[in-house]
Amino acid sequence: RLRLHDGKLIKDRRFHLRTYPNCFVAKELTDWLIDHKEAPDRETGIRLMQKLMDHYIIHHVCDEHSDYKDAKLLYRFRKDDGTFPLSKDVKVFMRGQSLYEKLVSVEESILKVREENSVKYQRTFLGCEMVDWLVQEGEVENRQEAVELGRALLEHGIIQHVSNRHHFFDSDILYQFWINFRRRRRLTELLNENSSRALSESPDSPFCLRKLNPEPGNTSFLSVQTNKEIKIVSAVRRSSITSLSGNSNPYFSAAPTLVFPPVAECNPKSVLKRPVTNEELLSPGAPYVKKTLTIVGDAVGWGFVVRGGRPCHIQAVDPGGPAAAAGMKVCQFVFSVNGVYVLHLDYQTISSLIMTGPRTLVMEVMEAIE
């Protein structure tokens, strides 16, 4: 998706007197897949894009076609219009990805090649080391919460005991990341995702989550295909979304039903107690203070949701994301993005500014004085 943005295949397009933002032409995208060796032929390219549709990653801009047609039809990534589905399983997966990226990017990382019983294992760590690190970095509040996170990651096949004999414990037991999030993956891997044999032979593939039940004899595979619990969010994550539900626990949430939600669910209620105008924000003596936040995007983006318009406000903040670390809070108003004054803009336009800008995001926000 990001490569398509960079190549300008995803852009605002006009059709029948209407402008469709952030969309692509199916036929052009099929050509691109072949030109960039993501697909060997058109038939495979069509199958790949249909797989993305089946997993609610892309859709027809008007939802008039349930299948991907190699024609001059407009499609869009759900990430770009805020309808990307979010479930407990995806939250855990993205949480694991975020932690992995943070661990491999620091000096003296706890991730090391270690040996046990004369066997060398990649990306390993001791359970107690991980708990120490999670607490030290503020990823969790206490050691118990760290163990709960470790168990969630293990049950979803993101980490594992090196010989697959133990659950996650705060001890000197050796674990490893089962997935290498930094390995570049070919899109064609998606076509093999339903093969359990292919999965077992490709532990680095993240296209399926290997959800484990600690009880013997009850192990199953769970695809990344999520339910359709859809929230309208702005496109402020460069890759996939982490916790956007406002749940204080970023990796556990109640599992919603596998049905398309009513319209009310697609338009979450504003967190603002009352509407605020630009005039009120900017009037002399107004009870608001301006703050400058520098947010360095991580492997999965920036971690916040912006809503509304004229002025826009922060609707939700991922507690484990870069925005929260920079001091962003819900109910703050967006004053500027990378030096561009935005109080007069709607959230779609602000989202576009963020997505097309640099990875390091400089935002001025206005916050009510308590």
SS3 229: coil
Q: What is the pLDDT of residue 194?
A: 52
Cα angle, residue 190 at apex, residues 241 and 212 outer, rounded to 5° = 70
C-alpha separations of 262 from 63, 64, 229, 267, 291 in Å: 16, 18, 10, 9, 37
pLDDT (tens digit, 0 to 9) for every residue of the chain, 370 residues total? 888 998 899 999 988 888 889 999 999 999 999 998 889 999 999 999 999 998 888 999 988 888 999 999 999 998 888 888 777 888 888 899 889 989 988 888 999 999 888 888 888 999 999 999 999 999 999 999 999 999 999 988 899 999 888 899 999 999 999 888 877 777 877 777 554 434 444 455 444 444 444 433 332 222 222 333 333 333 344 333 333 333 333 333 333 322 333 333 344 678 898 999 998 998 888 899 999 999 988 767 888 999 988 899 999 888 888 899 899 999 999 999 988 889 988 888 898 888 877 888 999 999 998 7
Task: Count, in order, helices (H) and strands (E) of the chain.
Answer: 12, 16
Cα distance between residue 303 and residue 237, in whole Å: 6
Q: Which long-range contacts (CB under 8 A, 24 or more apart) does 204-212 make?
A: 204/179, 204/180, 205/179, 206/93, 206/97, 206/179, 206/181, 209/89, 209/92, 209/93, 209/156, 209/157, 209/158, 210/156, 210/157, 210/178, 211/89, 211/155, 211/156, 211/157, 212/154, 212/155, 212/156, 212/157
Cα distance between residue 125 and residue 309, in whole Å: 46
**DSSP label of 254:** P
Model's pTM, two decimal places?
0.47
115 and 338 in contact (C-beta within 8 Å)? no
SS3 313: strand
Give the residue from 343, 339, 330, 347 showing the smallest Cα distance to 363: 339
Q: What is the pLDDT of residue 268?
A: 61
Q: How does DSSP assign 19-72, residue by residue?
A: EEEEEEEHHHHHHHHHHTTS-SSHHHHHHHHHHHHHTTSEEETTS--SS--SSS
Torsion from C-alpha of 231, 236, 242, 248, nearest 10 degrees = -80
Please state whether the peptide bond connecting residue 311 to the residue before it is cis, i.e. omega within 30 degrees of 0: yes
SS3 328: coil
* Beta strands at 340-341 and 222-223: parallel, antiparallel or unpaired: unpaired
Q: Which helix (H) or strand (E) holds 90?
A: helix 88-104
Q: What is the pLDDT of residue 243?
A: 34
SS3 150: helix
SS3 117: coil
156 and 96 in contact (C-beta within 8 Å)? yes
* Beta strands at 174-177 and 340-341: parallel, antiparallel or unpaired: unpaired
Give burial (CB, 10 Å; 0-12/13-18/19+) of 303: buried
Cα angle, residue 70 at apex, residues 69 and 71 outer, rounded to 5° = 90
290 and 332 in contact (C-beta within 8 Å)? no
- For the chain, domains (ranges, CATH) are 11-77 (1.10.10.10), 88-177 (1.10.10.10), 278-368 (2.30.42.10)
Q: What is the pLDDT of residue 77?
A: 93
Give the residue from 266, 270, 261 showing the smallest Cα distance to 232: 266
Cα distance between residue 321 and residue 304, in whole Å: 8
Q: What is the pLDDT of residue 12?
A: 92
